[in-house]
Structure 1
Protein backbone atom coordinates (compact mmCIF):
# COMPACT_ATOMS: atom_id res chain seq x y z
CA UNK A 1 0.00 0.00 0.00
CA UNK A 2 1.52 3.31 -1.03
CA UNK A 3 1.20 6.55 0.87
CA UNK A 4 -0.71 9.54 -0.50
CA UNK A 5 1.59 11.91 -2.43
CA UNK A 6 1.56 14.62 0.25
CA UNK A 7 2.56 12.19 3.01
CA UNK A 8 5.19 10.57 0.79
CA UNK A 9 6.67 13.99 0.07
CA UNK A 10 6.80 14.79 3.81
CA UNK A 11 8.39 11.40 4.50
CA UNK A 12 11.13 12.05 1.94
CA UNK A 13 11.81 15.54 3.32
CA UNK A 14 11.96 14.25 6.89
CA UNK A 15 14.48 11.58 5.86
CA UNK A 16 16.60 14.15 4.04
CA UNK A 17 16.53 16.38 7.13
CA UNK A 18 17.62 13.51 9.38
CA UNK A 19 20.48 12.72 7.02
CA UNK A 20 21.53 16.39 6.79
CA UNK A 21 21.60 16.78 10.58
CA UNK A 22 23.42 13.47 11.06
CA UNK A 23 26.09 14.37 8.51
CA UNK A 24 26.45 17.89 9.96
CA UNK A 25 27.29 16.26 13.29
CA UNK A 26 29.73 13.80 11.67
CA UNK A 27 27.73 10.83 12.96
CA UNK A 28 27.60 7.59 10.98
CA UNK A 29 24.34 5.77 10.35
CA UNK A 30 25.64 2.95 12.52
CA UNK A 31 26.40 5.29 15.43
CA UNK A 32 23.07 7.12 15.18
CA UNK A 33 21.17 3.84 15.05
CA UNK A 34 22.94 2.80 18.26
CA UNK A 35 22.30 6.19 19.91
CA UNK A 36 18.62 6.05 18.93
CA UNK A 37 18.32 2.36 19.90
CA UNK A 38 17.06 1.30 16.49
CA UNK A 39 18.02 -1.07 13.70
CA UNK A 40 20.42 0.48 11.19
CA UNK A 41 18.28 -0.71 8.27
CA UNK A 42 15.30 1.19 9.73
CA UNK A 43 17.40 4.36 9.91
CA UNK A 44 18.60 3.83 6.34
CA UNK A 45 15.01 3.46 5.13
CA UNK A 46 13.96 6.59 7.04
CA UNK A 47 16.78 8.61 5.48
CA UNK A 48 15.85 7.27 2.04
CA UNK A 49 12.23 8.32 2.57
CA UNK A 50 11.07 4.74 2.16
CA UNK A 51 9.07 4.47 5.37
CA UNK A 52 6.73 6.67 7.36
CA UNK A 53 8.15 6.85 10.89
CA UNK A 54 6.23 6.38 14.10
CA UNK A 55 6.35 9.33 16.46
CA UNK A 56 8.32 7.26 18.99
CA UNK A 57 10.98 6.65 16.34
CA UNK A 58 11.06 10.34 15.44
CA UNK A 59 11.51 11.21 19.10
CA UNK A 60 14.40 8.76 19.49
CA UNK A 61 16.18 10.25 16.47
CA UNK A 62 15.57 13.81 17.65
CA UNK A 63 16.94 13.05 21.11
CA UNK A 64 19.95 11.13 19.77
CA UNK A 65 20.86 14.02 17.47
CA UNK A 66 20.11 16.58 20.19
CA UNK A 67 18.47 18.54 17.40
CA UNK A 68 15.61 21.05 17.51
CA UNK A 69 12.34 19.78 16.00
CA UNK A 70 12.25 22.53 13.40
CA UNK A 71 15.44 21.22 11.81
CA UNK A 72 13.93 17.76 11.28
CA UNK A 73 10.31 18.45 10.44
CA UNK A 74 9.45 19.06 6.77
CA UNK A 75 8.46 22.58 5.81
Structure 2
Protein backbone atom coordinates (compact mmCIF):
# COMPACT_ATOMS: atom_id res chain seq x y z
CA UNK A 1 0.00 0.00 0.00
CA UNK A 2 2.79 2.43 0.92
CA UNK A 3 4.71 1.62 -2.26
CA UNK A 4 1.59 2.10 -4.41
CA UNK A 5 1.29 5.62 -3.04
CA UNK A 6 5.03 6.14 -3.61
CA UNK A 7 5.58 7.08 0.03
CA UNK A 8 8.97 6.57 1.61
CA UNK A 9 8.98 4.78 4.95
CA UNK A 10 10.17 7.85 6.81
CA UNK A 11 7.41 9.94 5.24
CA UNK A 12 4.70 7.46 6.22
CA UNK A 13 6.15 7.11 9.71
CA UNK A 14 5.99 10.90 10.17
CA UNK A 15 2.46 11.14 8.70
CA UNK A 16 1.33 8.25 10.90
CA UNK A 17 3.08 9.56 14.02
CA UNK A 18 4.81 6.23 14.66
CA UNK A 19 8.52 5.48 14.97
CA UNK A 20 10.31 4.65 11.72
CA UNK A 21 11.66 1.48 13.33
CA UNK A 22 8.15 0.30 14.18
CA UNK A 23 7.00 0.74 10.59
CA UNK A 24 10.08 -1.10 9.32
CA UNK A 25 9.47 -3.98 11.74
CA UNK A 26 5.82 -4.25 10.65
CA UNK A 27 6.73 -4.25 6.96
CA UNK A 28 9.44 -6.88 7.47
CA UNK A 29 7.17 -9.09 9.64
CA UNK A 30 9.27 -8.71 12.78
CA UNK A 31 6.10 -7.32 14.36
CA UNK A 32 3.35 -9.66 13.16
CA UNK A 33 0.51 -8.36 15.32
CA UNK A 34 0.66 -4.57 15.58
CA UNK A 35 -1.72 -2.93 18.02
CA UNK A 36 -5.01 -1.56 16.77
CA UNK A 37 -3.78 1.92 17.72
CA UNK A 38 -0.76 1.49 15.44
CA UNK A 39 -2.93 0.18 12.59
CA UNK A 40 -5.26 3.17 12.95
CA UNK A 41 -2.28 5.54 12.81
CA UNK A 42 -0.95 3.85 9.68
CA UNK A 43 -4.27 3.95 7.82
CA UNK A 44 -4.60 7.58 8.81
CA UNK A 45 -1.14 8.29 7.41
CA UNK A 46 -2.05 6.46 4.21
CA UNK A 47 -5.47 8.17 4.04
CA UNK A 48 -7.21 4.82 3.54
CA UNK A 49 -9.67 2.70 5.49
CA UNK A 50 -8.72 -0.29 7.61
CA UNK A 51 -10.56 -2.47 5.07
CA UNK A 52 -8.38 -1.14 2.25
CA UNK A 53 -5.24 -1.93 4.24
CA UNK A 54 -6.33 -5.50 4.96
CA UNK A 55 -7.17 -6.28 1.33
TM range (shorter): 0.7 to 0.9
| 1:19-30 alignment runs, 5 A limit | 21-30=1-10
Give the helix-richer structure, 1 or 2.
1
**Runs of at least 4 residues off by over 6 Å:** none
Q: Scaled by the length of structure 1, what TM-score is found?
A: 0.66
Q: Shift in Å at residue 50 of structure 1?
A: 1.2
Q: Is 1:34 the counterpart of 2:20 in the alignment?
A: no
- The count of corresponding residues between Structure 1 and Structure 2 is 54
What is the aligned partner in structure 1 of residue 38 from structure 2?
57
Larger Rg computed on CA atoms: 1
Q: Which ranges in structure 2 are unaligned for 5 or more consecutive residues?
A: none
Structure with greater contact order relative to length (CA < 8 Å, sep ≥ 6): 1
What is the aligned partner in structure 1 of residue 47 from structure 2?
66
Q: Shift in Å at residue 70 of structure 1?
A: 2.1
Q: Scaled by the length of structure 2, what TM-score is found?
A: 0.87
